[in-house]
Structure 1
Amino acid sequence: MNIKSRLIVMNFLEFFVWGAWLISMGAYMFNVLGFDGAQVGSIYGTMGIAAIVTPALFGIVADRWINAERVLGICHIVGAVLLLVASRITDYQGLYLIMLFNSFFFMPTIGLNNTVSYIVLEKKGFNIVKDFPPIRVWGTIGFICAMWMVDLLGWNKSPFQLYVSATAGIILGIYSFTMPACSPVPTKEKRSFASSLGLDAFVLFRRKKMIIFFLFALLLGAALQITNTYGSTFLDDFGKTFPDAFGVKHSNVLISISQISETLFILTIPFFLRKFGIKQVMIMSIFAWVFRFGLFAFGDPGPGLWMLILSMIIYGMAFDFFNISGSLFVEKEADIKIRASAQGLFMLMTNGIGAFLGNYISGMVIDHYTVDGIKNWQSIWIAFAGYALILGILFPLFFRYKHNPEEAMAVKH
């Protein structure tokens, strides 16, 4: 198997692990375990808490002491064991604690997966900006396959979704150890105390451009997982008005159009980055979020199904143009010696602080618009759309970046 094929398998399994439960876990907690919006939001928020700490921490370990592919494997195996434990817990406090520990080990794997992919491609002489997106797209395909498996087996509201994820995690953990060595970059320079702790990745904050980029990454990161957290529950609530609708019976399959859209938009990233640059691509992403939430506000599984489908299609641009392009931008801007730490820092701002705030506040918003157990979804989605619109107006005013097409496609050494 050639190296690109091996990276495809790794990326497929990386997001299969996540897709098995990320979309459907909310419906399981709402409808089976009886949790409220704040509780569901807080459990999803454990990913944000973990991403504040462990992606940067494990990035430091991969940069300085242990091969990145080994750190990736260890994290997946430990995370899988914790998911098996979570499948047997039904109380809020217990599930919160176990999912928090699972998040401590899973969230670093997203950045580590990118780091391993970048290092291996670079060693083989490939162009990361050009060759990584077609590999990463298989991660989204893995996410879709996991969603469909859980949905078609009827496990949307069952703890069996966690067994599916755990099984894939163990397989990926073992597989990671077979990847080409991604050793820490040796250096003869004397390290300062801050450098020894891996805090040198924060030198990126010395540049105004990067401060503003990371600030908006944090703010936009608050919106990244909102529809993943509540999308399935939103469709389930149409059970009385459209009981026989496909989107109600198979909410995961309908939502998976979002991930199918991702596979298409990922492939367009090299073109858009080369043509427009990171600033314009991120502006497109922010306004795509406005439409994503707005179409949810007025769509339904009946006559308004076309609006939900259009929202799913737009999701690909909203998520990928920010998440993948942002990761590639950080890779270009960071020194080679801190590449894993820099990816961890990006995760810290987006899936860490941003996601934590997003899940916490979104849970409060949902509870605010819930009266006698009935959620006013239109007001909820309009509130989220308004938030994204404000970001879309402010971002181009503050983020100053001159696009250089040749630099955007350059191979980093």
Structure 2
Amino acid sequence: MSIKSRLIAMNFLQFFVWGSWLITIGAYWFQNRHWSGAQFGAIFSTMGIASLFMPSLMGMVADKWINAEKLYGLLHLGGAAVLFATPLIDNPTTFFWVMLLNMMCYMPTISLSIAVAYSALKAEGRDVVIDYPPIRVWGTIGFIAALWVVSLLHLETTTGQFYVASGASLLLGAYAFTLPPCRPKLGQLRGRSMLDTLGLTSFKLFRDRKMAIFFLFAMLLGAALQLTNAYGDTFLHDFATVDSYKGTMAVRYPAIIMSISQVSETLFILAIPFFLKRFGIKTVMLISMLAWTLRFGLFAYGNPGPQLWMIVLSCIVYGMAFDFFNISGSLFVEGQSDPAIRASAQGLFMLMTNGIGAVLGSSLSGLIIDAWFIRADGSKDWHGIWITFALYALAVAVLFSLLFKHRHDRNAVIHPHGARDTATGAIAD
């Protein structure tokens, strides 16, 4: 089996695990357990809390002591065990700690999977900017497949979604040990600094003003991503209380409607090499930010009836908003960091987006909604919520255009081995 096929299988299962429950846990929480919204906000924040330290910590371990693919497999095996036990929990506080443990296993595997894929592609002399996106697109297909499995089996509000995720995680954990070796490099270097010893080498990227600003805005966009993950499916489920929308496709199968977002991802991932080469990272990131604005704005005026097209269009726009930020961002970080800290650098990117950004997005959005967008009858003012989120994304875009200084050279040669593998230094972006 070719290396591309092996990495495709890894990416498919990686996001199948996540897609089995990420979008539908809200429906399970409110319609099965009937626990409070504040408690749900805490549950959803476990992703961000785990990302504050686990990706960087596991990236350090992979850079210094253990093959990244083996650590990746061990984390998925641990996650499979936790997910299998999750349905047994009947207390929201205990559920929080169990989900936090699950996220501590899962979140570092995202950046580790990237490090493993980049290492394997570079070992064959391939260009990661060209060859990685068509591989990564299969992760999105895996996410879509999981959403359809859970929805068509009517597991959206049941514990079945966690068993599906557990089985996939177990399979991936075992498969990971067959992947090409991604050996530690930092431990092979002589004259290591104190930052090397403490595993904080990737934080030196903050010394570069451009990279510091990039990571700051990655954090702000990470907050936007959590808004749609936390509230998108719940938003559609709330229409079930409106008589005129009962029985509509969007209310009966909200997860399938939301999966249009992932279908869109598969198309925009393939467009990333063209956009990065032609326009550069600044323009691509700006496109992502404006797409987030449009994503939230369309949700504000959409409904499962006459304005269903707005919800569908919002899901299509999501593909550009997500890919042009997450995938392009990881490629940019890869190109700006030393190969010896490749896993740590990806972990730092995860820390800023799915860690600090996720915690801020989950916690602050919950406070804002509770303070200004809960009606007297307890229902949510979804129009006001989505408009507020859209204005936030627009403000981020304006600030990024003013503060992030980067000159793009479309004629620069992109070396397949990335930054500092040759004397030319950082790759073009």
Q: Which category of TM-score, normalised to the shorter sequence, fits these structures?
A: over 0.9
- Letter of the structure 2 residue corresponding to residue 149 of structure 1: V
Give 1:5-154 correspondences, 5 Å limit: 5-154=5-154
- Letter of the structure 2 residue corresponding to residue 217 of structure 1: A
In the other structure, the counterpart of 2:319 is: 316
Residue 408 of structure 1: how far off its partner (Å): 6.7
Q: Is the 8 A contact 1:83 1:166 kept in 2?
A: yes
1:285-338 alpha-carbon deviations (Å, 9 max, x no partner): 001000100100100000010000000000000000000000000000001111
- Letter of the structure 2 residue corresponding to residue 211 of structure 1: A
| Pair 1:289 & 2:292 matched | yes
In the other structure, the counterpart of 2:374 is: 370
Name the SS of the counterpart of 1:255 in structure 2.
helix
1:226 & 1:374 partners in 2: Cα distance?
18
1:90-121 alpha-carbon deviations (Å, 9 max, x no partner): 22101100000111110000000000000000
1:159 & 1:361 partners in 2: Cα distance?
28
Q: Is the 8 A contact 1:76 1:173 kept in 2?
A: yes
Aligned length: 413
Residue 365 of structure 1: how far off its partner (Å): 2.6
Alpha-carbon spacing, 1:331–1:406, altered in 2? closer, same or farther (3 Å): farther
1:400 & 1:188 partners in 2: Cα distance?
33
| Pair 1:193 & 2:194 matched | yes
1:76 & 1:299 partners in 2: Cα distance?
38
Alpha-carbon spacing, 1:52–1:111, altered in 2? closer, same or farther (3 Å): same
Q: Is the 8 A contact 1:13 1:142 kept in 2?
A: yes
2:414 & 2:28 partners in 1: Cα distance?
44
| Pair 1:210 & 2:211 matched | yes
In the other structure, the counterpart of 2:427 is: none
> Relative to structure 2, which stretch is displaced further, 308-317 or 181-190?
181-190
Give 1:392-403 correspondences, 5 Å limit: 392-403=397-408
Residue 187 of structure 1: how far off its partner (Å): 2.5
In the other structure, the counterpart of 2:306 is: 303
| Pair 1:270 & 2:283 matched | no
2:36 & 2:384 partners in 1: Cα distance?
18
1:37 & 1:267 partners in 2: Cα distance?
37
Name the SS of the counterpart of 2:90 in structure 1.
coil
2:149 & 2:370 partners in 1: Cα distance?
31
Name the SS of the counterpart of 1:66 in structure 2.
coil
Name the SS of the counterpart of 1:350 in structure 2.
helix
2:87 & 2:267 partners in 1: Cα distance?
33
1:401 & 1:31 partners in 2: Cα distance?
48
Q: Is the 8 A contact 1:29 1:35 kept in 2?
A: yes
In the other structure, the counterpart of 1:155 is: 155
Give 1:227-242 correspondences, 5 Å limit: 227-241=228-242, 242=245
Q: Could you tell me the TM-score, scaled by structure 2's length? A: 0.95
1:408 & 1:234 partners in 2: Cα distance?
45
User: How many percent identity over aligned positions?
Assistant: 55
Residue 226 of structure 1: how far off its partner (Å): 1.5
In the other structure, the counterpart of 2:254 is: 251
Runs of 5+ consecutive residues of structure 1 not aligned to the other structure: none
Residue 229 of structure 1: how far off its partner (Å): 1.5
Q: Could you tell me the TM-score, scaled by structure 1's length? A: 0.98
RMSD: 1.1
